[in-house]
Amino acid sequence: TDDGSDTGEPRAGVEFVLSIPVKGMERIVTDVGGTSGKWGSKFTVDHDNEREEGESGATSSTADMSSLSNRQKKKLKRQQLATGVPGLVPVPFGYASDDDPAGNCFAIQGTCAHLKCRTYAVVSEPSNVIDNDHHLVCASVVEAFCHSSYWDNERKLFRPDSCSVPPYLTFFGAQQFGYVSCCGD
């Protein structure tokens, strides 16, 4: 929902979707988190024309990376991700059909659950703001979707229903993940 503000600043009343990733999506999660959206779309599909014209980001082998400083590595990563995060693909919220889109909200392909949220406050007091690029957003879940393989209907629990589906990820920070599974692994 739009409140009529064109400032680009975070505001209340905006809807967004949180997508719950599964094992195997760790690189996508860290690349998305390490890429600023203020420089353009994180989705490769939005940059397909650029790639066709030969304007794709620079590439480098792992051997080249080892001789670079941290600052150079960050710059190279930014260049590599300038045309989007590989593997990041938008899908309709709740895997709705293309004939029945869920407004302008979308989820991420390969995720096991989607939470549509609506912001009700954005913390903007200088003492509580992390920095000028990050904001504390307060939101409530207004709609949810869970793939049937991750819902225990008997206990009303969100969890993988068998060892045959990948565990879902929890993010501990500092590029560390936890895995939630119904198995003992």
- What pLDDT, on a 0 to 100 scale, did the predictor assign at position 179? 93
Tens of pLDDT, residues 95-108: 655 554 445 788 89
Tens of pLDDT, residues 125-176: 666 666 766 778 899 999 999 999 999 888 888 989 888 999 999 988 888 8
Lookup: tokens for 38: 């203020």
Local confidence band at 182 (pLDDT 50, 70, 90 cut-offs): confident
CB 35 within 8 A of CB 53: no
Tens of pLDDT, residues 61-79: 444 667 878 777 667 766 6
- What pLDDT, on a 0 to 100 scale, did the predictor assign at position 146? 93
Tens of pLDDT, residues 80-94: 666 778 888 888 887
CB 128 within 8 A of CB 136: yes
pLDDT above 50 for 1: no
**Global pTM?**
0.71
Tens of pLDDT, residues 12-46: 788 889 999 999 999 999 888 877 777 677 877 76
**CA-wise closest residue to 38 among 90, 82, 76, 104:** 82
Residue 151, C-beta contacts closer than 8 angstroms, at least 6 positions apart: 157, 158, 161
| Rg (alpha carbons) of the chain, rounded to whole number | 19
- What pLDDT, on a 0 to 100 scale, did the predictor assign at position 175? 82
- What pLDDT, on a 0 to 100 scale, did the predictor assign at position 55? 45
